[in-house]
């Protein structure tokens, strides 16, 4: 393959602050992913480059970032599929940035109750995000979601309103009320709050960027339809 120009938004408190773009050139193999490119840049060009990776097969969500303006998993996105040899990588939006492409994503849980059945113990998780946040939920994961944060980062409402429940939480609410009907009224009231489902602008980007087919927009639509049928408001 021909050489690629990889432009990375870099940030290190007090060192590269404010963030700035740095460019790297490399000649990848035909089957390289974005994560492969990051690994090679770190090994051969920039040892201080910060990013996260774990499973290398799109099941942990750790390597999520913004790739040419679209949220995705670095380990799943092949360079050859991007249709350009100019690649721009940025950290996800809406999350506290630690350095370069690394963010703290434990805020995905901030509007959720720890007793919800869709929050399950996970002893295999890399707990770094949660230990950094100090929120005490190191062994927690979403059911049917890899917590990559892509849907939240892509959401135009979440980018502007930090109080918005967001597509990940609204999806979890919809799943939870189906599993535990006794909690349905309380959950529908939570979803119907001004910073809940009514704030959704139906951009649908949350579903387009979800790498595991959770389809948050579908869950949000179901919540909206049920609210209209029942007249449930916060």
What pLDDT score was predicted for residue 232? 66
In the prediction, which pLDDT does 159 show?
Answer: 95
**C-beta atoms surrounding 159 within 10 Å:** 13
Q: What pLDDT sits at residue 143?
A: 59
- How far is the C-alpha of 169 from the C-alpha of 152, rounded, in Å? 9
- Residues belonging to the chain: 234
Q: In this structure, are 74 and 134 located in the same domain?
A: no
The CB-side HSE value for 62 (13 A sphere, CA atoms) comes to 17
> Is residue 23's pLDDT more than 90?
yes
Q: Last residue of a domain, which of 99, 130, 148?
A: 99
Residues 176, 219: one domain? Answer: yes
CATH code of 53's domain: 3.10.20.30
200 shares a domain with 117: yes
- 155 and 198 belong to one structural domain: yes
What is the predicted pLDDT for the residue at 140?
Answer: 46
Q: What CATH number does the domain containing 183 carry?
A: 1.10.1060.10
Asked if pLDDT for residue 168 goes beyond 60, the answer is: yes
Segment 84-105 shows an average pLDDT of 96
- For the four alpha carbons of 219, 225, 228 and 229, in that order, the dihedral sign comes to negative
Q: What DSSP line would sit under 49-66, residue for residue?
A: -----SSSSSSS-TTEEE
Domain of 184? 106-230
Give pLDDT tens digits for 203-222. Answer: 999 999 999 988 999 999 99
Separation of first and last alpha carbons in the chain: 56
Q: Looking at the structure, tell me whether residues 145 and 224 fall in a common domain.
A: yes
Is pLDDT larger for residue 140 or for residue 91?
Answer: 91
Q: What average pLDDT is seen over the chain?
A: 87
Residue 70 shares a structural domain with residue 156? no
Domain count across the chain: 2
Residue 33 sits in the same domain as residue 114: no
Residues 115 and 218 in one domain: yes
- On the CB side of 54, CA atoms within 13 Å amount to 13
> How far apart (Å, rounded) are the C-alpha atoms in residues 1 and 8?
21
Percent of the residues in the chain that have a pLDDT greater than 90, as a whole number: 68
The sign of the dihedral angle between the CA atoms of 16, 22, 28, 32 is positive
- What is the model's pLDDT at position 149? 94
- Residues 88 and 113 both lie in one domain: no
Domain co-membership, 114 together with 198: yes
The verdict on 51 and 133 lying in the same domain is no
Helix or strand or coil: residue 78?
strand
Q: What is the pLDDT of residues 120-144, one digit of tens each?
A: 555 444 444 433 334 444 444 555 6
- In the predicted structure, residue 25 carries a pLDDT above the cut 60: yes
- Contact by Cβ (8 Å): 94, 105: no
CB atoms within 10 A of CB 160: 11
Would you tell me how many other CB atoms lie within 10 Å of the CB of residue 199? 18
Cβ pair 4, 85 in contact under 8 A: yes
| Mean pLDDT, range 177-187, rounded to an integer | 87
Note whether 81 and 114 are same-domain residues.
Answer: no
CB atoms within 10 A of CB 68: 16
Give this prediction's pTM. Answer: 0.85
Distance CA 86, CA 50 (A): 20
pLDDT at position 202, please?
95
Most confident range (mean pLDDT) of 108-117, 133-142, 193-202 is: 193-202
């Amino acid at each position: 393959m021909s050489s690629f120009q990889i432009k990375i938004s870099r940030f290190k408190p007090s060192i590269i602050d404010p963030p700035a773009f740095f460019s790297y050139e490399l000649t990848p193999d035909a089957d390289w992913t974005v994560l492969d490119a990051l690994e090679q840049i770190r090994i051969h060009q920039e040892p201080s480059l910060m990013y996260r990776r774990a499973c290398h097969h799109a099941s942990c969500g750790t390597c999520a970032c913004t790739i040419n303006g679209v949220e995705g998993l670095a380990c799943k996105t092949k360079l050859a599929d991007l249709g350009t040899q100019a690649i721009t990588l940025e950290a996800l939006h809406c999350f506290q940035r630690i350095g370069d492409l690394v963010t703290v994503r434990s805020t995905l849980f901030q509007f959720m109750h720890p007793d919800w059945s869709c929050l399950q113990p996970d002893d295999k998780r890399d707990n770094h995000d949660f230990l950094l946040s100090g929120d005490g939920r190191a062994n927690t994961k979403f059911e049917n979601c890899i917590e990559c944060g892509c849907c939240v980062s892509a959401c135009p409402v979440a980018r502007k309103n930090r109080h918005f429940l967001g597509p990940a939480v609204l999806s979890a609410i919809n799943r939870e009320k189906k599993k535990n009907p006794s909690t349905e009224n309380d959950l529908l009231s939570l979803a119907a709050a001004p910073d809940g489902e009514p704030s959704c602008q139906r951009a649908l980007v949350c579903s387009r960027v979800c790498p595991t087919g959770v389809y948050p927009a579908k869950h949000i639509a179901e919540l909206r339809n049920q609210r209209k049928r029942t007249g449930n408001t916060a």
